[in-house]
């Protein structure tokens, strides 16, 4: 600390001026000091506590200036202040003047102030010091501390002086790190303003007992702190290098695991015989929870017996940094074997590495296992600092603020990406313009939101234009409790982002593999410690006990059986029972108590013994917390028992409960049991009657949270159902199971939905057939049936529909009868039971009309339901060979939908009519209808179907030969489907673009696009699209003269198409004939042609010129083929080359069909494009013309 005369002026924690000496003349200094003191005396408020604090600070300020102002001036000024303070204290029943308290003391000193005073004038020096101490005071106060002393260019802050908190030491260290940042800012400012380098701060912290206030009667005595701890804290600061923070071992023991430290150093402190261990603090570690470090409080232990596993993790980290590869590593071990300690050690090691990494933290819990995407939510919430107590609007703002910048290259869709992902992880975003039109399409929401999540990690790792990727580590704890949806997402993430430097690092118990036997990972197993490692661990734990007797170490190692957590709990239990006296720096063994101690033989017994040793109030609080779960919130606990507000901090100090580190002090704070086993043992000690009462109180509190504007309102639904169920409140539990299922289906969380439905229906069965529960049963059946439909579980869906029919009959409700019939008709359509679909859909229309006549149900919903059923009737008629009747029904539904403003219905009807037009070869009508559907889908915000409609429009233009328009729409479609993450649609779009490139004679590009489509089809396991992609690849290979490759491609396409019964098997066979012909192998070409003609179906019109009786010979059709004209052209060419008279019939058919379609085009330019720009059409027309039109 500098000893020069210069110092500064700042404000204390009360905002009152604190004065220090400057190099002004005495008269000037007195005037300044008194001027500064006057606001203090005039600014007292009517509120006693702030006034008292202000008076104390003012008295301290004046006392500090006694040497400057003189005794007479100070005493005169202090008289009134002391009298007022005494009156306030008497009125308020002031606290005792003297008290012993455990506090954390922080000294900060400005380094280089003496040098500064030698180069600057007093006014400039004053300004620098004023600012530094003012800002330093503000930081201490902001971190919950109190400034009690200013001396020259230093200050002393105390944490825990007014009220002890479990995190006093942690807040002091965080404040110290922030003060170092302030010092760097100060140095930079002084250098810039005055050209003087070397200005900085140093900080020291110690935690220990002090005497607060009382004694001497001097002004400011009430806030004075005395004791050896003050000297130790001062020594920590004095020995710290400039720009550094040094803490004592006593402080370190309370914050270990939260910060990165240098190796320990020994310091000699005046008045202390033995050297004191100290540590330099470098930075805070990004831990989600304050984890009690392995060992006993006050004893620093090294990790034992896990060196090989740590080395394996370090090697994986090096691979991630060196090779930029995707890694999936899972650390597997039973409870208590040291997964958490290994993680802490690895995390501390990575923090010291030069390679920067972006780390995400996620932790699964038993409560979150039934919450869809809970683990993904935890990863995102930790990254974006979304708190459990954030309002919905606050959480939404953080999601938008974190995600939208990542999609800055897509400004029109960036907000939509944020809303979709937020909705997926549980935020209610139903009012978003990006979701309103698709809320009835969970598949679309799910697919697009998952794509956003995948892209989020990709863009964080590899921003646009970056040459190297940022390493990402997804650190997942307790993966055995993860929800199924998050596990599915992690697998998908690894598949899609396999080219990124991404590491999925998971820690789990072996039970994970009962659910996911094929979890992709490199596995690192933790086994119980062997005998040498067990002995070493006991030695670490008992390091303060001189020469531990063999009987004691044998007792501990024999019971613990290589389980580190068991070992530590045994030592803690022996301390609690008094067998080991750990009150001093050196421990003592009380042999008579060791003999009398009953040491349990199991870990459960040890934990039970520790619980039994707790004070009754603390044990009760821990039991109440166990009812909430292994993770619990302070407000929930206080709702169960208000006394927990006092006892919870004591459990934290015992490290039985661990507070979440990143929770705002005034917010909803989350805590975790020290270990999952401790939670289980504690819960088992709660009497069943008490459990039910506590579950009931907790359920009521949770139910209120689910109705609130909390960001986690949806997450509370399933937990609330569980607690109502445990309380024996079946009806309430069933209600919340229904709400949880309805919440989950919007996220396509099938397992969660069906689980809640099953439990809800079972609970309703216990309540009997009461009519008041009928609507609740309907809700459960409704969400169950929709989920089974999404899954394609048709048999189970049929059973659910039977139950819905029964409920609709019991309620005598035609609206519900109509809805159930509509769902049954949909099921029949999916199963290709078209006659059944038509019959049921007709009945659904009749029931909807009856309900409308009766005035039951929502008229708008009933009209929409009626018209959707009319559409189903039309589709069924088309599939049964009655296209005219089907078209009339579809048109009727479309017209009435327009009148009623039902946009989605109109889009679906237009799409069906467009497909029918294409089937009839009316390309112009198909294109017109597809474009109309596209406009409606855009208006509804249905991005998924908008992408599909764009593809339809692009392909429509392609089929007409309008290549420029096709290219524009297909490129637009590709952007939309890529943003949606719709891989199937991306594959289809790539195929359209490949065909376009081929028609434009750019077959290199056509080949690249076909290969891309094939890769996508293989990745998403879509064999239909794999066949189409192989046909496109072969077409490009033929054009490029790669005939051998084309033959292999078409052979593979033929085999795959035959295996799935695909109509493109005809195209593959024709293409093989075409390749053989180009290779000069006429025999092979004829063999393929004969086989192909043998598979042809009879012609639709026997009277046509290509009938079996025609002079040209028999010509059949190839239903389901991709390109009938190309097949016909190929057969003509092969047969003509062989001199076979049947060749003419195939050319006749091909030309007739091309001309018939061209004749429907009224636009001459478009007709010309159709005939000249499509290669197969161009070739057919040329061959026909060469024959003289015969």
Residue 1053, domain member (yes or no): no
With 0-12 CB in 10 A as exposed, 13-18 as middle and 19+ as buried, what is 1130? buried
Among the listed residues 909, 930, 934, 906, the one whose alpha carbon sits nearest the alpha carbon of residue 918: 930
Q: Are 358 and 471 in contact (CB under 8 A)?
A: yes
For helices 834-854 and 859-879, the axis angle rounded to 10 degrees is 160
Percent of the chain scoring above 90 in pLDDT: 44
pLDDT tens, position by position, 261-285 = 888 888 887 777 778 889 999 988 6
Cα separation of 13 and 10, whole Å?
A: 10
Neighbours of 1178 (CB within 10 A): 16
Predicted confidence band of residue 840 (pLDDT cuts 50, 70, 90): very high
Mean pLDDT over all residues of the chain? 83
For helices 1164-1172 and 1175-1186, the axis angle rounded to 10 degrees is 90
Cα separation of 7 and 891, whole Å?
A: 88
Using the 8-state DSSP alphabet, how is residue 1016 labeled? H
- Decide if pLDDT at 1158 tops 60: yes
Q: Looking at residue 595, what is its pLDDT?
A: 60
Q: Looking at residue 661, what is its pLDDT?
A: 61
Query: Of 974, 999, 1028, which residue sits at a domain end?
Result: 974
Q: Is 98 left (phi over 0), alpha (psi -120 to 50) or beta?
A: beta
Q: Looking at residue 601, what is its pLDDT?
A: 62
For helices 1164-1172 and 1143-1159, the axis angle rounded to 10 degrees is 150
631 SS3 class: strand
Query: Of 922, 957, 974, which residue sits at a domain end?
Result: 974
Q: Looking at residue 816, what is its pLDDT?
A: 93
Q: Looking at residue 85, what is its pLDDT?
A: 62
Highest-pLDDT range among 390-404, 484-498, 1033-1047: 1033-1047
Under 8 Å CB-to-CB from 370, ≥6 apart: which residues?
483, 718, 722, 740, 752, 755, 756
Highest-pLDDT range among 134-138, 701-705, 1040-1044: 1040-1044
Predicted confidence band of residue 61 (pLDDT cuts 50, 70, 90): low
Q: Which of the residue ranges 402-416, 418-432, 557-571, 830-844 would you say has the lowest mean pLDDT? A: 557-571
Question: Could you tell me if 135 and 43 lie in one domain?
Answer: yes
Neighbours of 421 (CB within 10 A): 26
Cα separation of 579 and 597, whole Å?
A: 7
pLDDT tens, position by position, 629-665 = 988 989 999 999 999 989 998 898 888 888 876 554 4
What are the DSSP E strand ranges found in 53-131? 99-111
631-633 vs 17-18, strand pairing mode: unpaired
Question: Could you tell me if 420 and 367 lie in one domain?
Answer: yes
pLDDT tens, position by position, 749-803 = 888 899 999 999 999 999 877 667 889 999 999 999 999 988 878 899 999 999 9
Residue 2, domain member (yes or no): no
Neighbours of 39 (CB within 10 A): 12
Residue 542, domain member (yes or no): no
pLDDT tens, position by position, 1052-1079 = 999 998 988 878 899 999 999 999 999 9
- Structurally, how many domains does the chain consist of? 4
Residue 1126, domain member (yes or no): yes
Q: Are 346 and 506 in contact (CB under 8 A)?
A: no
Which domain covers residue 45, as residue numbers? 10-284
- Decide if pLDDT at 489 tops 90: yes
Sign of CA dihedral 790, 793, 799, 801: positive
Q: Looking at residue 27, what is its pLDDT?
A: 35
Question: Could you tell me if 1176 and 1119 lie in one domain?
Answer: yes
Cα separation of 201 and 175, whole Å?
A: 13
- Decide if pLDDT at 972 tops 70: yes
- Phi (first) and psi of residue 511, to 5 degrees: -60, -20
Cα separation of 978 and 679, whole Å?
A: 46
Q: Are 248 and 207 in contact (CB under 8 A)?
A: yes
Question: Could you tell me if 279 and 320 lie in one domain?
Answer: no
What CATH number did the domain enclosing 352 receive? 3.40.50.300
Q: Are 91 and 48 in contact (CB under 8 A)?
A: yes
Cα separation of 173 and 168, whole Å?
A: 9
- Decide if pLDDT at 6 tops 50: no
Predicted confidence band of residue 696 (pLDDT cuts 50, 70, 90): very high
Q: Which of the residue ranges 69-78, 308-317, 680-689, 874-883 would you say has the lowest mean pLDDT? A: 69-78
Query: DSSP labels for 172-201?
Result: HHHHHHHHHHHHHHHHHHHHHHH-----EE
Question: Could you tell me if 221 and 319 lie in one domain?
Answer: no
pLDDT tens, position by position, 1136-1146 = 999 999 999 99
- Decide if pLDDT at 1103 tops 70: no
pTM above 0.75, yes or no: no
Cα separation of 1144 and 1140, whole Å?
A: 9
- Decide if pLDDT at 217 tops 60: no
- Decide if pLDDT at 617 tops 60: yes
In which element (H, E) is residue 310 found?
helix 307-323
Predicted confidence band of residue 1082 (pLDDT cuts 50, 70, 90): very high
Question: Could you tell me if 312 and 278 lie in one domain?
Answer: no
Cα distances from 946 to residues 388, 941, 970, 974, in angstroms, run 36, 8, 12, 11
Longest dimension (CA), the chain: 134
Q: Looking at residue 866, what is its pLDDT?
A: 93
Question: Could you tell me if 234 and 331 lie in one domain?
Answer: no
Cα separation of 809 and 813, whole Å?
A: 7
What CATH number did the domain enclosing 132 receive? 3.30.70.1230
In which element (H, E) is residue 415 found?
helix 414-424
Q: Are 513 and 775 in contact (CB under 8 A)?
A: no
Among the listed residues 767, 839, 834, 757, the one whose alpha carbon sits nearest the alpha carbon of residue 799: 757
Under 8 Å CB-to-CB from 400, ≥6 apart: which residues?
415, 418, 419
Q: Looking at residue 1104, what is its pLDDT?
A: 44
Q: Looking at residue 881, what is its pLDDT?
A: 81
Query: Of 942, 974, 1006, which residue sits at a domain end?
Result: 974
- Decide if pLDDT at 76 tops 90: no
Cα separation of 1108 and 1145, whole Å?
A: 10
154 SS3 class: strand
Among the listed residues 162, 203, 160, the one whose alpha carbon sits nearest the alpha carbon of residue 181: 203
Q: Which residues pair with 108 in a beta bridge?
A: 155, 203
Cα separation of 751 and 876, whole Å?
A: 32
* Choice between 969 and 288, residue whose per-residue pLDDT is larger: 969
Q: Looking at residue 593, what is its pLDDT?
A: 72
Q: Looking at residue 59, what is its pLDDT?
A: 67
What CATH number did the domain enclosing 953 receive? 1.25.40.10
Q: What is the mean pLDDT of residues 494-514?
A: 90
Cα separation of 1122 and 999, whole Å?
A: 16
What are the DSSP E strand ranges found in 175-275? 200-212, 225-226, 245-248, 259-261, 265-267
Residue 98, domain member (yes or no): yes
- Decide if pLDDT at 824 tops 70: yes
522-525 vs 327-332, strand pairing mode: parallel
Question: Could you tell me if 277 and 311 lie in one domain?
Answer: no
Residue 405, domain member (yes or no): yes
371 SS3 class: coil
Among the listed residues 1095, 1180, 1089, the one whose alpha carbon sits nearest the alpha carbon of residue 1129: 1180
Among the listed residues 71, 182, 87, 96, the one whose alpha carbon sits nearest the alpha carbon of residue 137: 182
- Decide if pLDDT at 710 tops 80: no
Q: Which residues pair with 99 in a beta bridge?
A: 212
Question: Could you tell me if 314 and 277 lie in one domain?
Answer: no
Residue 667, domain member (yes or no): no
Q: Looking at residue 1, what is its pLDDT?
A: 38
Q: Looking at residue 259, what is its pLDDT?
A: 83
Question: Could you tell me if 53 and 180 lie in one domain?
Answer: yes
Neighbours of 684 (CB within 10 A): 12
Question: Could you tell me if 98 and 188 lie in one domain?
Answer: yes
471-477 vs 502-508, strand pairing mode: parallel
Cα distances from 543 to residues 263, 300, 567, 586, in angstroms, run 18, 9, 14, 9
Residue 361, domain member (yes or no): yes
Using the 8-state DSSP alphabet, how is residue 482 labeled? -
Question: Could you tell me if 243 and 318 lie in one domain?
Answer: no
Q: What is the mean pLDDT of residues 875-880?
A: 88
């Amino acid at each position: 600390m500098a000893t020069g005369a210069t110092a500064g002026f700042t404000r204390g924690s009360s905002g009152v001026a604190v004065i220090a000496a400057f190099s002004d003349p005495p008269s000037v200094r007195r005037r300044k000091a008194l001027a500064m003191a006057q606001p203090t005396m005039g600014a007292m408020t009517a509120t006693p506590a702030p006034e008292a604090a202000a008076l104390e600070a003012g008295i301290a300020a004046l006392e500090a200036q006694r040497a400057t102002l003189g005794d007479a001036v100070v005493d005169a000024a202090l008289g009134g202040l002391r009298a007022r303070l005494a009156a306030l204290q008497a009125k308020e029943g002031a606290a005792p003047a003297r008290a012993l308290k455990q506090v954390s003391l922080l000294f900060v000193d400005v380094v280089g102030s003496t040098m500064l005073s030698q180069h600057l004038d007093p006014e400039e020096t004053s300004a620098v010091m004023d600012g530094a101490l003012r800002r330093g005071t503000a930081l201490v106060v902001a971190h919950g501390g109190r400034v009690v002393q200013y001396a020259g260019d230093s200050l002393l802050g105390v944490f825990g002086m007014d009220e002890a908190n479990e995190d006093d030491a942690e807040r002091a260290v965080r404040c110290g790190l922030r003060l170092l940042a302030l010092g760097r800012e100060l140095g930079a400012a002084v250098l810039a303003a005055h050209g003087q380098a070397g200005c900085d701060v140093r900080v020291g912290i110690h935690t220990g007992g002090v005497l607060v206030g009382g004694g001497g009667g001097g002004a400011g005595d009430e806030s004075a702190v005395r004791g050896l701890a003050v000297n130790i804290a001062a020594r920590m600061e004095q020995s710290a290098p400039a720009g550094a923070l040094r803490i004592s071992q006593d402080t370190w023991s309370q914050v270990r695991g939260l910060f990165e430290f240098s190796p320990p150093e020994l310091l000699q402190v005046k008045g202390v015989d033995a050297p004191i261990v100290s540590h330099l603090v470098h930075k805070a570690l990004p831990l989600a929870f304050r984890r009690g470090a392995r060992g006993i409080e006050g004893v620093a232990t090294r990790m034992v017996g896990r060196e090989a596993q740590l080395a394996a993790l370090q090697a994986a980290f090096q691979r991630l940094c060196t090779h930029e590869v995707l890694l999936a590593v899972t650390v597997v071990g039973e409870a208590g074997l040291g997964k958490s300690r290994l993680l802490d050690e690895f995390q501390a090691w990575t923090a010291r590495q030069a390679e920067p990494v972006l780390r995400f933290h996620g932790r699964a819990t038993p409560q979150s296992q039934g919450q869809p995407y809970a683990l993904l939510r935890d990863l995102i919430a930790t990254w974006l600092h979304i708190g459990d107590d954030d309002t919905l609007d606050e959480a939404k703002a953080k999601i938008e603020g974190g995600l939208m910048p990542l999609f800055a290259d897509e400004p029109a869709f960036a907000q939509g990406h944020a809303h979709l992902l937020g909705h997926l992880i549980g935020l209610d975003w139903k009012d978003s313009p990006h979701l309103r039109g698709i809320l009835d399409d969970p598949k679309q929401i799910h697919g697009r939101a998952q794509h956003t999540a995948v892209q989020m990690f990709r863009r964080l790792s590899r921003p646009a234009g970056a040459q190297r990727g940022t390493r990402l580590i997804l650190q997942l704890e307790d993966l055995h409790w993860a929800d199924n949806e998050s596990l599915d997402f992690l697998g998908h993430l690894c598949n899609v982002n396999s080219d990124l430097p991404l590491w999925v690092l998971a820690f789990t118990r072996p039970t994970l593999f009962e659910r996911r036997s094929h979890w992709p990972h490199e596995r690192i197993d933790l086994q119980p410690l062997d005998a040498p490692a067990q002995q070493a661990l006991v030695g670490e734990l008992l390091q303060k006990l001189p020469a531990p007797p063999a009987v004691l170490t044998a007792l501990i190692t024999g019971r613990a059986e290589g389980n580190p957590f068991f070992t530590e709990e045994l030592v803690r239990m022996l301390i609690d029972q008094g067998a080991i006296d750990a009150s001093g720096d050196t421990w003592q063994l009380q042999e008579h108590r060791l003999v009398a101690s009953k040491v349990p033989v199991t870990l459960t017994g040890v934990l039970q013994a520790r619980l039994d040793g707790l004070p009754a109030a603390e044990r009760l609080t821990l039991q109440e917390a166990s009812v909430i779960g292994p993770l619990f919130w302070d407000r929930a606990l206080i709702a169960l028992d208000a006394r927990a507000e006092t006892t919870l901090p004591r459990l934290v100090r015992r490290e039985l409960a661990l507070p979440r580190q990143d929770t705002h002090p005034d917010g909803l704070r989350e805590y975790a049991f020290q270990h999952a086993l401790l939670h289980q043992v504690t819960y088992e000690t709660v009497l069943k009657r008490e459990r039910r009462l506590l579950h009931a109180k907790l359920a009521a509190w949770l139910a209120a949270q689910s109705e609130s504007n909390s960001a986690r309102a949806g997450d509370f639904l399933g937990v609330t159902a569980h607690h109502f169920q445990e309380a024996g409140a079946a009806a309430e539990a069933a209600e919340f199971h229904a709400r949880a299922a309805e919440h989950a289906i919007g996220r396509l969380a099938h397992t969660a939905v069906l689980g809640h439905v099953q439990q809800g229906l079972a609970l309703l069965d216990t309540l009997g057939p009461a009519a008041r529960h009928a609507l609740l049963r309907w809700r459960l059946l409704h969400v169950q049936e929709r989920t089974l439909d999404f899954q394609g579980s048709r048999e189970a869906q049929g059973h659910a529909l039977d139950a819905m029919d029964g409920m609709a009959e019991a309620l005598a409700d035609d609206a519900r009868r109509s809805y159930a019939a509509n769902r049954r008709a949909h099921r029949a359509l999916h199963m290709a039971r078209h006659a059944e679909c038509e019959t049921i859909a007709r009945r659904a229309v009749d029931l909807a009309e009856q309900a409308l006549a009766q005035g039951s149900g929502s008229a708008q919903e009933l009209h929409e339901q009626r018209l959707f059923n009319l559409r189903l009737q039309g589709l069924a008629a088309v599939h049964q060979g009655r296209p005219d009747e089907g078209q009339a029904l579809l048109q009727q539904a479309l017209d009435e939908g327009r009148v009623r403003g039902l946009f989605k219905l109109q889009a679906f009807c237009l799409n069906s009519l467009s497909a029918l037009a294409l089937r009839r070869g009316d390309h112009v009508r198909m294109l017109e209808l597809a474009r109309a559907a596209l406009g409606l889908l855009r208006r509804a915000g249905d991005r998924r179907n908008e992408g599909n409609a764009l593809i339809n429009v692009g392909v429509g233009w392609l089929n007409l030969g309008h290549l420029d328009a096709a290219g524009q729409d297909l490129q637009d479609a590709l952007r939309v489907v890529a943003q949606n993450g719709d891989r199937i649609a991306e594959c289809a779009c790539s195929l359209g673009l490949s065909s376009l490139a081929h028609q434009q004679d750019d077959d290199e590009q056509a080949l690249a696009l076909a290969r891309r489509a094939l890769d996508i089809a293989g990745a998403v396991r879509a064999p239909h699209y794999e066949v189409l992609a192989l046909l496109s690849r072969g077409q490009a290979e033929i054009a490029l003269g790669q005939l051998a490759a084309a033959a292999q491609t078409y052979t593979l396409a033929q085999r795959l198409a035959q295996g799935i019964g695909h109509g493109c098997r005809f195209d593959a066979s024709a293409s093989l004939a075409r390749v053989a012909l180009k290779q000069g192998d006429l025999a092979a070409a004829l063999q393929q042609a004969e086989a192909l003609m043998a598979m042809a179906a009879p012609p639709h019109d026997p009277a046509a010129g290509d009938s079996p009786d025609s002079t040209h010979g028999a010509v059949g059709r190839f239903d389901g083929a991709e390109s009938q004209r190309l097949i016909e052209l190929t057969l003509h060419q092969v047969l003509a080359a062989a001199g076979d008279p049947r060749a003419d019939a195939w050319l006749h058919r091909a030309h007739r069909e091309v001309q018939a379609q061209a004749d429907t085009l009224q636009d001459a330019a478009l007709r010309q494009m159709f005939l000249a720009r499509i290669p197969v059409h161009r070739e057919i027309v040329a061959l026909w013309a060469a024959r003289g039109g015969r």
